[in-house]
Amino acid sequence: MSDYQRGLDEGRNEQHSYQASRQLGQGLGQLIGWVLVAGSRVVVEVLLAAPFLMLGFVVMAPLDFLGPVLGAVRLLGIGVVAYLFYAGLYWLKGLVVAQHRRAGWLWLLPFSVCVAVTCLLPGWLVRLFITSSFPTASPLWGWGLGAAFALFAYGRYRFTEDIAPSLALWSYRRGYNWALR
């Protein structure tokens, strides 16, 4: 093979190598972006579900006859209890919406319970996480991010609107109908 032919082949391979590495870099960038978005979404969902999971753990922890603390039966029990508390929250939301449509202030009591459990508690957890993870940061960061997350959670649950997820719609309707009696 002549030097000319060898140089020509190397030049062609270099062009192909550049394109392949560029495509690989773009693919890796998209994968990293997708993982960051999915990971942040999972973190937000876990923080929103944290009050229910904690209540499930508190209820299931003293039940020693179910086996080890992180055994399958107990984890399933924590999930079931967390779902029941979630459904109970939407039962309270049904009460709030039905009472809010009536004249009076009676709807404020279940509304304040709902806000405390689903907004203030996760906001407090975010604040604790920020202050313990970054001890040299200003306390304003912890309070600010905690308040922002509490507002995000409030916007997510929309306690005064007549909507509910399909997972807890049955409970919401029962609370709504019970309050209208």
pLDDT for res 151: 92
Confidence band, pLDDT 50/70/90 cuts, at residue 12: low
Domain with 84 in it:
64-179
Backbone angles phi, psi at 82, to 5 degrees: -60, -40
| Cα distance between residue 174 and residue 72, in whole Å | 31
Is residue 9 included in any domain, yes or no? no
pLDDT in tens, 26-62: 878 888 888 888 888 888 888 888 888 888 888 888 8
22 within a domain of the structure (yes/no): no
Residue 30 lies in a domain: no
Contacts of 138 (CB under 8 A, 6+ apart): none
Closest among 158, 147, 123, 146 to 50, alpha carbons compared: 123
pTM of the prediction? Answer: 0.73
How many domains does the structure of the chain reveal? Answer: 1
Q: How many CB atoms lie within 10 A of CB 45?
A: 10
154 in any annotated domain? yes
Rounded mean pLDDT, 156-166: 89
Q: Is residue 17 part of a domain?
A: no
- Rounded to whole angstroms, the Cα distance separating 82 from 112 reads 20
User: Which of these ranges, 94-98, 99-103, 109-113, 171-175, has the smallest mean pLDDT?
Assistant: 99-103
Q: How far, in whole angstroms, is CA 34 from its chain's centroid? A: 17
Of 131, 151, 153, the closest CA to residue 51 belongs to 153
